[in-house]
Structure 1
């Protein structure tokens, strides 16, 4: 398509020709004229909106779904408008040109797929107000039968939704949002008393300048005076430099176990490689990083284990970043040398704060500086890394007035301790896993105590058509695309382990329990828990329902220790439940175009390395438009092959759902082998041997 340069827009990293979308929509018989614009009615949420004048006899309700399908047949998913607004005529200026400023903001009717039913109770109206705030709609148009997910809600927004409801006095479990996604059903659950009183972490009782910390000052942990004194002795500056002491969250305990197993080959170190334009930019970046450490308690935390009944994390009031420098070889390409630093084995002492390292590599004969920033997973996860980079950009731009107060990580730890002490996790996992007596190890991969950094890595985008169908089927069923991804992996795991009853790990965000301000809190929140899926005798429809129910059950217990789930299974000793882990990750931008960026400050992203201890990890990353597979697999199995299996299974799942909602396709009948490989296995490898002249052979002679 050849169009005007000023008609190009960029949404979630994709450069889009608006005229190409308009041309596609105009080909539909029901469209008389149309225009497509990119609107940002909510900061950080730019959407494509199609304004159209329909031919006589066509109504808005009929057109929305039909036009979305029509556009999806020829355009990639990220170019299909998310809203369709019908007008009697396009607004024009006095000169007869399109008046874009006069195009109205899309109302909820442009998104909703059901008739409007006004909220009728005080709770419904309160929910409508919160939904409207988060989703960018007029609250008078949020109906009682509207579905949070069909209006654009997703897991990133759920953390904010639960926190906002808590501020209004509604302590709503995340599982309720999933199980009751319509406004009326969620309100009924709240009014029915299904929610309990909100938990609040006890306050930090250590006063500034304290010369001796006593047990009464540490409400989140039970330590006697001698052990407190031993903890304080490890902190530079002693007691006046101790801000807090509390236990580890469940997910941190598992990460610490693998660190202690082999500190010199720690799988839970993540590193990112950046480039600074010059020494001045490099110095400003270092100052900004120190400012982050000063603001966030988790970045000043150390983890101690020696002579203690349980590991503790101690928050220092001040902690200085240690910066190392190296000079790159003049005779080799500087960037290649810098990228090689990512692969260099590195270790980090976890009993010293901060659990961050910065290595600055100077390029000879150049002002450019390469920045290798390493962090331990004890204090970070993918969402935290995104927040760190966003805040660094704000500091570099001198816009610190944009930053809200930093919420303390201790609030999350307190919530986790409370939840694990009061929930039914042990009963739940015994019921789910008690009769599991065999590990699920796809492709025979069994080493769950390795270092994933050493495994081959592959990133590959899903085809645009498959992405569109995956989103469409998920929306129609009222589930997340993550649910269909888990169902597809269950099919792959079953085929690759020779079992119709499989268990695999799923990574949970950990931020879904309504802790105030958790959406902007730094720290480690993610947790890996086992999902069991039985495929025998089930249709694809039943498989999706089982996976959806299993994920809801895990989300409600997302901070339960993996060790607890392991103990509740029927496996002996330390035999692992599973050796494969999958993860659905959101990477959509959270701020508007005016938010500062690292690029503007002279800092450029180059690469990242991240891994865990399992031999087979598969992530499906949602970038808003594109869905992309990210794999790390033990080199006994090709990454490309595993990606092919996942893509084939996803295709089989959505094809079955599109045909008859998956009601007739057996779950074990979903194809996993791509067609070329299936042909090779069934035909090429099984050709009958040619007849041999001179008579037959005995069986052993054929083998010879």
Structure 2
């Protein structure tokens, strides 16, 4: 046993002499023998999970100096790893693209320097990353970045760029349900109704984003805020003893999802509590995308859980006060994305998407309608543990994240099906590069248009390197709102398809809804049979244990399920 202690670090150091960083194993486990199946193959399921000492974390080399120590603290907070060594790699310890963006945000805030995502991927080891940062500090000095400050609520509050685009689309399509974000939760157990209502009222008061409405004067919209004291306005229904209660439940959920919002009058969030039995309820929440996004749903549910737990015990609001609100961010965004910063990012996207194909011509079951239909459906996607493991190994071998590897595969498939070698795929980015906005509810998410060259001359290694470069460069230029990118590229506008791309790919870190918990209650997502397809195809995947799972949402105006 004495010989095993420190063995992981020695093996890692030895292998580092002959292998690139991303191919050096993260952990080393000593076994008397490999577990085998009856067929004599390695029984991977029987392999033990590595214990703490199995990880080659370089703890024998503690961080040295101010920058390494600061970096180690940031890594520990983001990765959930207690001990960080100066020879550790950010990605080996579990880092991925989203965490890398958040790390850059924290480095920017702490040190006042701009570290690009490309440099972070090129130097993922703590010691090397600290060296890059030290050079940047020496070269340009620590610069105090403009803070997001509260603005006077007595003046005119502008919309963010993303909100402005959705407001304009709302005027065109008559406020259809295509930009609604519905959520339905089945609650089983003794629900404390008063605690739930108080929690929702507190969230309503806490987040100005939820209370925003959009009023036009002279054709130009501005933001106004509904009163905090009006409360959330939860609507309640009691279906106990009602004939065909399940049918009525389906109708209420559909009405909640599809009923139009009024931008000018609001509110743009609504909820209902449907009682099915003494200890069974359904809670529906519907928000318009103009005030929310996927990250915001996570914030909403996380804070709802905290508040409900406190109010269940007659406690006070335990959440720390918000220093800024979404309207403050909207004002800051218009100042930040201007001048040379805007011009630099505009030049990048103009060059990157110049002469990109306007349409991905996939074979469809029906002709494309003259105006885009948002009717959709989905098929479940499941990649078994062995295939998922092989994808992870492949990613380690070529220094890509799982997102990058599967994006390359998705682009390859789309190229084969369409016969086109020039493929543009959209992908969402959280666009919360400032730590101040991580706890806000609002419409932050941005979309990147990633262009992949699938010419036959490329081998796998070249393709993965290209996709990695495209993802990293795109995320380094994610500040420019997608609506401005469209205006810069100026693709031919048509009503029958979305501009720049018609296929999406997103990587989700966890099933936020499935992870929701409320004290004393069993909370599960309620399955609904209505969907919206904003694109021809939208592939969303995530890791779940040792598998990769997700859904492929498709336009039912174009495709049959079998296709």
TM-score range, shorter chain: 0.7 to 0.9
In angstroms, what is the RMSD of aligned CA positions? Answer: 3.9
Distance 1:153 1:273 in 2: 31
Equivalent residue, structure 2, for 1:152: 94
Distance 1:159 1:629 in 2: 23
Does 253-262 or 331-340 show the bigger shift?
331-340
> CA distance change for structure 1 residues 183 and 295 in 2, over 3 Å: closer, same or farther?
same
How do 1:487-526 residues align onto structure 2 when only pairs under 5 Å count?
487-511=408-432, 513=433, 515-526=434-445
Equivalent residue, structure 2, for 1:394: 306
Deviations 1:180-235 (Å, cap 9, x if unpaired)? 3222343233233377735334533437xxxxx35xxxxxxxxxxxxx5xxxxxxx
Give the CA deviation at 1:148. Answer: 0.6
Distance 1:370 1:138 in 2: 39
SS for the counterpart of 1:350 is coil
Equivalent residue, structure 2, for 1:348: 261
> CA distance change for structure 1 residues 254 and 279 in 2, over 3 Å: closer, same or farther?
farther
> CA distance change for structure 1 residues 471 and 402 in 2, over 3 Å: closer, same or farther?
farther
Equivalent residue, structure 1, for 2:184: 273
Kept in 1, the 8 Å contact 2:533–2:554? The answer is no
How do 1:555-570 residues align onto structure 2 when only pairs under 5 Å count?
555-569=475-489
> CA distance change for structure 1 residues 581 and 247 in 2, over 3 Å: closer, same or farther?
same
Give the CA deviation at 1:565. Answer: 2.6
Equivalent residue, structure 2, for 1:480: 401
Equivalent residue, structure 1, for 2:163: 252
Kept in 2, the 8 Å contact 1:620–1:629? The answer is yes
Distance 2:370 2:63 in 1: 51
Name which one, 1 or 2, has greater alpha-carbon Rg: 1
Kept in 1, the 8 Å contact 2:212–2:268? The answer is yes
Give the CA deviation at 1:633. Answer: 0.5
Deviations 1:131-167 (Å, cap 9, x if unpaired)? 234434455x511x43211112234534553444345
How do 1:3-42 residues align onto structure 2 when only pairs under 5 Å count?
none
SS for the counterpart of 1:538 is coil
Distance 2:331 2:113 in 1: 16
Equivalent residue, structure 2, for 1:685: none
Give the CA deviation at 1:491. Answer: 0.8
How do 1:41-440 residues align onto structure 2 when only pairs under 5 Å count?
64=27, 74-75=43-44, 84-85=50-51, 106=52, 110-112=55-57, 119=63, 121-137=65-81, 141-143=84-86, 145-158=87-100, 160-173=102-115, 175=117, 176-193=119-136, 197-201=143-147, 203-206=149-152, 213-214=154-155, 228=156, 245-248=157-160, 250-277=161-188, 281-309=192-220, 311-318=221-228, 319-326=230-237, 328=239, 333-335=244-246, 337-344=248-255, 345-363=258-276, 368-398=280-310, 402-407=318-323, 408-421=325-338, 422-423=341-342, 424-440=344-360
Distance 1:372 1:254 in 2: 27
Equivalent residue, structure 2, for 1:527: 446
The number of equivalent residue pairs is: 520
Deviations 1:442-471 (Å, cap 9, x if unpaired)? 33585697464x311222322111112222
Distance 2:240 2:125 in 1: 61
Equivalent residue, structure 1, for 2:21: none
TM (norm. structure 2) is 0.79
Kept in 1, the 8 Å contact 2:358–2:492? The answer is no
Equivalent residue, structure 2, for 1:631: 552
Distance 2:483 2:361 in 1: 18
> CA distance change for structure 1 residues 639 and 619 in 2, over 3 Å: closer, same or farther?
farther
Distance 1:613 1:257 in 2: 16
Deviations 1:27-51 (Å, cap 9, x if unpaired)? xxxxx9xxxxxxxxxxxxxxxxxx9
Distance 2:459 2:144 in 1: 40
Deviations 1:625-672 (Å, cap 9, x if unpaired)? 43212121122324565xxxxxxxxxxxxxxxxxxxxxxxxxxxxxxx
Give the CA deviation at 1:495. Answer: 1.7
Distance 2:465 2:370 in 1: 29
Gaps of 5+ in 1: 1-31, 33-50, 86-105, 208-212, 215-227, 229-244, 642-704
Distance 2:370 2:59 in 1: 51
Does 347-356 or 492-501 show the bigger shift?
347-356
Matched, 1:580 2:503: yes
SS for the counterpart of 1:304 is strand
Distance 1:587 1:127 in 2: 25
Kept in 2, the 8 Å contact 1:290–1:321? The answer is yes
